[in-house]
Amino acid sequence: MSTELPQEKVRKYTEYIYASSGERVVALKAGSRDEAFNSDSVSLSGDGTLDDPFEYWASLDVSPHFAIIDLWLSFRRLSLTRPVFIRVNEYILQIFWQGVRAENGQFTRLLI
């Protein structure tokens, strides 16, 4: 039986998360400091709508890759009942049960 936490499993199997802002499309990778970060005490703002997406309340020393996975794990269940959006840096993504969709429509599947 694996002792990995869901965050670790998703990060292990997700090399890139695709995000877009306007015409710019990026492939976000995990950062070297992500492993040591604990997001249990992080404050969030927003209501998850497109006009006010969920986001970390303060800037954190983690990669956007880590932040997207953390927010996806936090709100994927809510996405079953209504559209849910997150903001990480300048990127807004929609959360789905199986992953996230960038503004340009590109979907990244996230697996637990």
What pTM value is reported for the model?
Answer: 0.86
The pair of structure tokens assigned to 81 is 């009942």
| Beta carbons of 34 and 55 less than 8 angstroms apart | no
N-to-C CA span, the chain:
14
Q: Where are the domains of the chain?
A: 6-29+43-109
pLDDT computed for residue 12 by the predictor: 79
Band the pLDDT of 37: cuts 50, 70, 90: low
Q: 29 has which bridge partners?
A: none
Give residue-wise pLDDT tens across range 7-32: 777 877 788 999 999 889 999 998 87
DSSP 8-state symbol, 31: -
pLDDT computed for residue 1 by the predictor: 45
What percent of the chain has a predicted confidence (pLDDT) above 70?
Answer: 85
* 4 HSE (CA, 13 A, CB side): 11
pLDDT computed for residue 2 by the predictor: 47
